[in-house]
Amino acid sequence: MAHKVGEIVQAKITDENSTHYFAQIDGVTYELNKAEFNVPFAFGDTVTGFAYENNQHELAITEKIPEVRLGHFAFGTVTDIRRDLGVFVDIGLPDKDVVVSLDELPTIKELWPQRGDRLLLTLRVDKKERLWGELAPAEVYQALQVPAKKTMQNKNVKATVYRLKMVGTYVLTDDYHIGFIHPDERYREPRLGEHLDARVIGVRDDGVLNLSLRPRAYESIGNDAEMILKLLQASATNSLPYNDKSDPKAIKKYFNMSKGQFKRALGNLYKQRLITQDDQGVYLVEQEEK
C-alpha cells in the first residue's frame, strides 16, 4: 500500500495514547506528536500536515510544514556528513534530517558541504518510498535570478556556492543575483554550499556578477604602501618625485618612513601592478591600463 510522504496531506484521527494521536490515510496509519498541537483532536477529526518517515522509521504527520517539499525548493542547513552515504540536511522537520546522496556531491570529498553550510534542494521519493534531498538544478537558480545592476560594481556581497566547474565557481548571492568566480580570483576552490564574502569586479550584460574572493589592493598591501598609494591618488598628476634611489633623508621627511620601508612598499605596489617608476619618480597606473 503506497505511503504519502513528502506531501501536505489530510488524515482522519482514529486513535490516541498519552503522547500521540494516530491518523489514517487510505488505511495507512501515521502518528502525530501531541506536543505539537495546541487544540486537542477527537476521533473522526481531520488534520492537515506534512507526511514523512521519522528517524525511528515510523510514518508521521507534522504541522511544521517545511518549505522543502516535493516540487518545492528551499534552503536547508547541513547537519552531518557520512562519507559512505552523503550529507544530512535540516529542512525544518522536528525529528528528521534528509540525506543528499553522495551521487549528487562533488567527486573530491574536500569540496563536500560542511556542517552549517546551505544547500538549495527539493525532495524526491525512491522506489522504497524513502525521502531524499535533491539539489536544485541550474534552471532553478536561473529562475530565481534577479539581474544585477551596473551600480553594484565594487560592492561587497554574501553568496552561497551552488555549482563547481573547471572554469570556476557559481554562486547565488543573498539578494538572488547569480555570480561567477574565476579560479584566478580565489586562493582556494570554495566547497559546495559554502557561504562566502565576495566583492563585485564586474557586471555582465546579462546581469550576472563577476566576483572575487581576493582582497582589494589597498586591503592587502600594508600600511606603508597604502599611504603611498593614497598620496599618488591625491596628486594632481598621480605621480610623486621620489623613487627607490631617492635620498633617504628626503624620503624620511616626506613619507616619515625609512628608505628600506619605502622600497618594500614600492615593491609591493609594483607587484600589484598599481605603480610604475623611472628616474623622475613614481606613477600611479590607471585602471584601464592595469
Residue at grid coordinates 564586474 = 202
The region that residue 143 occupies, defined by phi over 0 for left and psi between -120 and 50 for alpha, beta otherwise, is alpha
pLDDT of residue 271: 82
- Asked if residue 240 lies in contact with residue 223, where contact means CB atoms within 8 angstroms, the answer is no
Could you tell me the sign of the dihedral formed by the alpha carbons of 47, 48, 54, 57, in that order? positive
Inform me whether the pLDDT recorded for 281 exceeds 70.
Answer: yes
Inform me whether the pLDDT recorded for 289 exceeds 50.
Answer: no
Inform me whether the pLDDT recorded for 220 exceeds 60.
Answer: no
More confident residue, 272 or 208: 208
Mean pLDDT of 11-40: 92
Mean pLDDT of 238-249: 92
In three-state secondary structure terms, 21 is: strand
Phi first, then psi: give them for residue 220, nearest 5 degrees.
Answer: -125, 0
Neighbour-count burial of 8, counting CB atoms closer than 10 A to its CB (0-12 exposed, 13-18 middle, 19+ buried): middle
Residue 210: Cβ within 10 Å count: 18
Inform me whether the pLDDT recorded for 217 exceeds 70.
Answer: no
Q: Is the pTM of this model over 0.85?
A: no
DSSP strand E in 69-193: where? Answer: 74-82, 86-90, 98-101, 118-125, 131-135, 156-165, 168-173, 178-181
pLDDT of residue 1: 44
Residue at grid coordinates 591618488 = 233
Tens of pLDDT along 72-86?
999 999 999 999 999
Tens of pLDDT along 110-145?
999 999 999 999 999 998 888 999 999 999 999 999
Inform me whether the pLDDT recorded for 55 exceeds 60.
Answer: yes
Domains of the chain: 8-62 (2.40.50.330), 74-136 (2.40.50.140), 144-212 (2.40.50.140), 218-284 (1.10.10.10)
Mean pLDDT of 258-265: 90
Q: Give the residue from 239, 241, 243, 289 showing the smallest Cα distance to 267.
A: 243
SS3 content of the chain, % helix, strand, coil (to 5): 20, 40, 40
For the record, the C-alpha cell of 36 comes out as 505539537
CA distance 107 to 168: 16
pLDDT of residue 2: 63
Share of the chain above pLDDT 70, in %: 96
pLDDT of residue 125: 92
pLDDT of residue 219: 60
Mean pLDDT of 158-165: 97
pLDDT of residue 4: 82
Identify any residues that bridge with 75 across adjacent strands, giving them in sequence order.
120
